[in-house]
Amino acid sequence: MVSPTAENYLKALFSLTAERGEVNITELSHLLQVKLPTANSMIKSLHEQGWVSYEKYKPLSLTPKGKKKAALIVRKHRLTEMYLVDKMGFGWEEVHEIAEQVEHIDSTIFFDRMDELLGNPNVDPHGSPIPDKNGEIQQKNHDPLGVFKPGEKAKLVALAHSSSDFLKFLNRRELLLGAELKIESIENYDNSMVVSYENHPFETFSKVVCDALLVERLV
C-alpha cells in the first residue's frame, strides 16, 4: 500500500504535527534529510493518495486516515523497541536504529505476538506511549523536572526525546525510568538542579537535561 519511504514520511509528519498540527515542507525535508523538491513531490503523491491535507504554498497536515496509518507505524516501532530491550537485552540507546527498519515489516501476527509476549505494554523503553491497535494514543502530559522546587520529589517516567547522546548521558549516571528523584537545590546562576536518587546523591543536571526529564510528582 505504501512504501517504506512513504511510511517514513508519514511518521515524520506524525511527530512534526504532534504539537502544532501543521508543518511546512522545509522542516519535513530537513528531518528526513532529503532536498526540498524531493519532499515536495512526495507530499503531492501522499496528498493524491489521501494521507495528507495539502494546498500549494500552505503548511500541511495528516488526514485522519494518514494520522491513523502513521500511529500504527509508530506502534510497530515502539513495540519493537520494547521487545528489543525487554526480551533481547539491548540497551535503550541501541534500539532505535533497528526499530527504524523493523517498523516496516508487514506482518500482523509478528507484531501481535510481540505485543502479547510483552504483556501489552503502553510505553516504549523511553517512556513514549505506544498507540493501540486502532492507532489511538493516550498522550500523558508529563512535567519536565525543571518545573519542580527544592525539597520536592518526582519519579522519572519518560524522556522528552531519545537522542543517543542523551541516553548515554543517562546511562553514565545510572538514571533509569522509574527512578525517584529528590530536588536538593537549584542554582540561580544557570538554573541547573542538584538532585539525589538511588546511589547518586547530589548529581548536578543542567537546565537542558532537566527539561528533557519528564516526571510525575511523588506524594
Size of the site for DNA (CB under 7 A): 22
Rounded Cα–Cα distance for residues 143 and 213 (Å): 8
Only segment of 17-25, 43-51, 108-116, 174-182 that touches its own copies (CB under 8 A): 108-116
Nearest approach, Cβ of residue 96 and its own copies (Å): 11
Nearest approach, Cβ of residue 104 and its own copies (Å): 8
Q: Are 189 and 173 in contact (CB under 8 A)?
A: no
- Residues 43-82, mask of contacts with Mn ion (x by CB under 5 A): ----------------------------------------
Closest to 38 (Cα-Cα) out of 8, 58, 62, 61 = 8
Sign of CA dihedral 190, 195, 201, 206: negative
Q: Does 31 contact DNA by CB under 7 A?
A: no
Rounded Cα–Cα distance for residues 21 and 62 (Å): 8
Please provide the distance, in angstroms rounded to a whole number, between the alpha carbons at the two ends of the chain: 49
Identified binder of Mn ion from the candidate list 22, 100, 143, 203, rule CB under 5 A: 100
Cell of 79: 513495540
**Which of Mn ion, its own copies, DNA, none has residue 96 at its interface (CB below 5 to 8 Å by kind)?**
Mn ion
Only segment of 17-25, 106-114, 170-178, 182-190 that touches its own copies (CB under 8 A): 106-114
**Which of DNA, its own copies, Mn ion, none has residue 35 at its interface (CB below 5 to 8 Å by kind)?**
DNA
Q: Are 162 and 126 in contact (CB under 8 A)?
A: yes
Nearest approach, Cβ of residue 84 and its own copies (Å): 8
Only segment of 109-117, 148-156, 165-173, 192-200 that touches its own copies (CB under 8 A): 109-117
Identified binder of DNA from the candidate list 56, 149, 161, 172, rule CB under 7 A: 56
Rounded Cα–Cα distance for residues 160 and 138 (Å): 16
Q: Does 89 contact its own copies by CB under 8 A?
A: yes
Rounded Cα–Cα distance for residues 172 and 151 (Å): 25
Rounded Cα–Cα distance for residues 116 and 131 (Å): 15
Identified binder of its own copies from the candidate list 6, 32, 34, 98, rule CB under 8 A: 98
